[in-house]
């Protein structure tokens, strides 16, 4: 992988490639960039399509075609995937992916509060409940997690952090990147950035985005 990609990810938390490598599959691109991760059985590539209705314990089941709240992916896992790679199959400029830099969240809410805020998955996984911090030093970085659907506060500082993060998110100005054209590709540092899908406008129901998780870059 070129030094440039690593530099940009390090500086911005994401990198966007317009109409990237039209002859390559998302798997080829992901394997070129880093080490892929299969989050669940036969789930290496997930195809994300808007759904007005879905199971109640999913974003689509709760929010349907409305905008999704900011989150990091699989925030209720003890070790969430480090990166997510999104690749456009059918896209629209007016359905942007929104991103918030976790560094700004830390500046606003303070590391002290976020690092002490204990959360737990809303539903136990594998019969056990893990206690998770919103912010934790891992390797040489500060890993951020957030998900208002799948995580809930489990301590008094957690309750405080919950209110402050929600308040800050409701007022912050996200970066909007549109996966508008086929093969537009977006790599996001999932330990740093929060992201959200904006609302699916009428006529945009055919949107289709592929996703692959990476546990590291080469």
* Residue 86 Cβ vs Fe ion, minimum distance, rounded to whole Å: 9
Distance CA 115, CA 103 (A): 13
Q: How far is the CB of 12 from Fe ion (least distance, A)?
A: 18
Which C-beta is closer to Fe ion: that of 73 or that of 210? Answer: 73
**Which CB atom, from 73 or from 184, has the smaller least distance to Fe ion?**
73
Q: Which is nearer to Fe ion, 73 or 189 (CB)?
A: 73
Give the residue nearest to Fe ion (CB).
73
11 CB contacts (<8 Å, ≥6 apart)? none
Distance of CA 48 to the CA centre of its chain: 13
Q: Rounded distance, CA 87 to CA 127, Å?
A: 34
State in angstroms the smallest separation of the CB of 154 from Fe ion: 22
Which residues would be at the binding site for Fe ion (CB under 5 A)? 73
> E strand or H helix at 46, and its extent?
strand 46-48
Closest approach, Cβ 53 to Fe ion, in A, equals 19
DSSP-assigned states of every residue in 54-111: --TTSHHHHHTTSPPPPB-TTTTSSS--SEEEEEEEE--TTSPEEEEEHHHHHHHH-H
Judged by CB, which is closer to Fe ion: 74, or 114? Answer: 74
């Amino acid at each position: 992988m070129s030094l440039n990609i690593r530099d940009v990810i390090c500086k911005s938390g994401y990198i966007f490639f317009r109409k990237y490598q039209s002859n390559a599959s998302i798997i080829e691109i992901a394997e070129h960039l880093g080490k892929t991760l299969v989050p669940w059985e036969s789930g290496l590539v997930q195809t994300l399509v808007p759904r007005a209705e879905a199971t109640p314990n999913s974003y689509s089941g709760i929010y349907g075609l409305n905008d999704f709240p900011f989150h990091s992916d699989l925030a209720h896992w003890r070790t969430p995937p480090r990166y997510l790679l999104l690749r456009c199959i059918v896209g629209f400029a007016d359905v942007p992916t929104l991103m918030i830099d976790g560094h700004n969240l830390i500046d606003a809410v303070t590391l002290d509060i976020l690092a002490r805020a204990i959360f737990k998955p809303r539903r136990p996984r594998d019969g056990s409940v893990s206690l998770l911090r919103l912010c934790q030093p891992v390797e040489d970085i500060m890993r951020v997690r957030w998900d208002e659907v799948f995580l809930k506060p489990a301590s008094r500082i957690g309750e405080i952090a919950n209110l402050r993060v929600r308040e800050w998110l409701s007022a912050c100005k996200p970066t909007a990147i549109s996966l508008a054209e086929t093969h537009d590709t977006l790599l996001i540092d999932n330990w740093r950035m929060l992201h959200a899908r904006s609302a699916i406008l009428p006529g945009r129901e055919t949107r289709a985005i592929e996703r692959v998780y990476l546990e590291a870059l080469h």
